[in-house]
Amino acid sequence: MTARHTSALEALLVDDSFDGDIYPNEPMARHTTYRIGGPARFFVCASSLSALSQLVRTCEESNVAWIAVGKGSNLLVSDDGFDGVVISLGRDFKTCRFDEERSSFSVGAGVPLSSVVQDAFKRGLAGLEFAVGTPGTVGGAVRMNAGSADEWIGGRIASVTTMAPKQGLKRYAGADIAWGYRSCSLPADEIVLECELLVQSALPSFIRGKMEAALTKRKKSQPLNVASCGSVFKNPEGNSAGALIDGVGLKGTRIGGAQISDMHANFIVNVDNATARDVRELIELARTKVKEAYGIELQPEVRFLGFA
């Protein structure tokens, strides 16, 4: 989709009644955990459903590319940026309510998943420990079915509310969504707005123990103190992407300011003002070498934005 005839969009974004914050030519390096990315034509934080609906409708009618993002924790943006609108969910999508009768949290998609984990812990509620320390938002976690090797958020979801272009609000029961490895069956063009997460009472010592174990494992095996997008590739069935990349001798390999982590080979880290091109070249190098050595085609978990 190319960006053309933006007069209607520009008119909306300069309207004082628009309920949101608009940043033209906004560097996406400010909005990704990679700290990489050229400018988006517009970065818009929509504060309400009305503003979000207006914005998406106008983009669709004007044939302007758009994408909704969370904290950019699994996003690599081109050095040239994105010739479209990047949408972030603001005020009305950052609420978290606990229903004692249902023992569930109704959480806006803009809420950091880690904050829900902490809220559950304080209330003595279990079920979300696997997500402790997760850097993304609830919306992003739902979209990619975030989780560990044994647990994932889809297993805790009672319902999901989305907004579909030209259709409006839609509600899905969690059981009606196909939850896959780092994926779900929600239509790609629908924006996750809210979800209901089921939890249950447990001893605080049990919850704390699971959270501490999960954090300890992550700290020992992942380069958490360096900018990255988390895991770059999905693990092939029955295999570890990190082990495959390590097996072809690429651990520690550096191109420009980017490096295949010497702690975990499925992490590409920004060690010195890396460019998106640096990261992309390492991704392609890893895919090529693993394919040659093992006949396995690694599939990226990271999302690409603004690339040809």
Same-domain pairing of 114 and 203: yes
> Is 101 an annotated catalytic residue?
no
**What range does the domain containing 293 cover?**
223-305
Q: Are strands 168-173 and 200-201 parallel, antiparallel or unpaired?
A: unpaired
**Tell me, what CATH number does 301's domain have?**
3.90.78.10
pLDDT of residue 3: 44
Catalytic residue among 129, 190, 196, 301: 301
Q: Residue 248: inside a domain, yes or no?
A: yes
Catalytic residue among 73, 88, 228, 231: 231
pLDDT in tens, the chain (308 residues): 334 445 789 899 889 999 999 999 999 999 999 999 999 999 999 999 999 999 999 999 999 999 999 999 999 999 999 999 999 999 999 999 999 999 999 999 999 999 999 999 999 999 999 999 888 999 999 999 999 878 999 999 999 999 999 899 999 999 999 999 999 999 999 999 999 999 999 999 999 999 999 999 989 999 999 999 999 999 999 999 999 999 999 999 999 999 999 999 999 999 999 999 999 999 999 999 999 999 999 999 999 999 98
Same-domain pairing of 80 and 102: no
**Tell me, what CATH number does 42's domain have?**
3.30.43.10
> Is 231 an annotated catalytic residue?
yes
Residues, the chain? 308
> Is 129 an annotated catalytic residue?
no
pLDDT of residue 166: 87
Same-domain pairing of 209 and 102: yes
Q: Residue 139: inside a domain, yes or no?
A: yes
How far is residue 154 CA from its own chain's centroid? 15
Same-domain pairing of 125 and 175: yes
Catalytic residue among 35, 123, 182, 303: 182
Cα–Cα distance measured from residue 283 to residue 102, given in angstroms and rounded to the nearest whole number = 44
Same-domain pairing of 67 and 111: no
Answer left, alpha or beta for residue 145, where phi above 0 means left and psi between -120 and 50 means alpha: left
**Tell me, what CATH number does 103's domain have?**
3.30.465.10
pTM, two decimal places: 0.93
pLDDT of residue 222: 94
